[in-house]
Amino acid sequence: MGSCYLSSSLSILKIPTTIRCLISAGPTREWIDPVRFISNPSSGKMGFAIAQAARNLGMSVTLVSGPVALSPLHGVDTIHVETAIDMKNEMLKQFEHADLTIMTAAVSDHRPRFQSEHKLSKDNFPLSLPLEKNPDILKLLGTQKKPGQRLVGFAAETENVMETARKKLIEKKLDWIVANDVSRIDQGFSSDLNEVLLLGPNDFQKRFNLAEKTIIAEEILNEICSLWLEKAH
């Protein structure tokens, strides 16, 4: 079995290259008609950066991506999806085989209750659009997590960032959650920069200051693997 080495502030950790890492990234699109949809500004950059960092550590990486304008990552098995239902189905399928799952995707919370097969004109477009809830994929994964699996969520918030993220950490049965303030114009969805807070059990928290998403991804993965593997030993 091969291995690679991960630097941490405490020690040098040996990571088995047989670790299977599952990552979700990007937005979803919830179609109203063939030319209109509900979505969000997620670029997928954070998820792709984490997939790249996991690949560089020698992990076997599967990336489930919503619609993004990013180049494919060499050495990463990428599966493209579009809607929240598509992403749910693929994540549940892949999750069974994953050791570490990191859900960075910004999944739309709602979808139109009805989808028109034809383009709606200005005159017949509904001014009130009935919606229904999309499945909470992260919560579903939390209920299916087996011993030994690790599950990491992302919380994109605009207020009460730490409090909301810590609540999600507990309610969704996560091992860790990464929180970031998307109300800031210098970071977040479409930016190449991010500043995040990693939260875990027993009031664990660690802040990663504003930096390129590629750097933030490496720091997040380093910290998670350090905590995970130290606990295992």
pLDDT of residue 9: 39
Residue type, 35: V
Residue 98 has pLDDT above 50, yes or no: yes
Are residues 5 and 15 in contact, defined by beta-carbon separation less than 8 angstroms?
A: yes
pLDDT of residue 159: 87
Measured at the CA of 54, the angle between CA 52 and CA 59, to 5 degrees, comes to 125
Residue 181 has pLDDT above 90, yes or no: no
pTM: 0.90
What are the catalytic residues? 40
pLDDT of residue 156: 84
pLDDT of residue 107: 96
d(C-alpha 177, C-alpha 191), whole Å? 20
Q: Which of 168, 110, 104 is closest to 142 using CA atoms?
A: 168
Helix axes 45-56, 213-232, angle to 10 degrees: 50
Are residues 149 and 101 in contact, defined by beta-carbon separation less than 8 angstroms?
A: yes
Strand ranges inside 26-126, DSSP E = 30-33, 36-38, 60-65, 77-80, 100-103, 110-112
Confidence class of residue 184 from pLDDT cuts 50, 70 and 90?
confident
Are residues 39 and 27 in contact, defined by beta-carbon separation less than 8 angstroms?
A: yes
Strands 100-103 and 150-157 come out as: parallel
Q: Of 109 and 190, which is predicted with more confidence? A: 109
From residue 2, how far is each of 59, 76, 175, 222 by CA, in Å? 10, 18, 26, 18
Out of 9-13, 15-19, 185-189, 207-211, the most confident range is 207-211
Mean pLDDT of the chain: 89
Write out pLDDT tens, residues 28-86: 999 999 999 999 999 999 999 999 999 999 999 999 999 999 999 999 999 999 999 99
Instruction: Report, as an integer, the average pLDDT of 157-165.
Output: 89
pLDDT of residue 114: 93
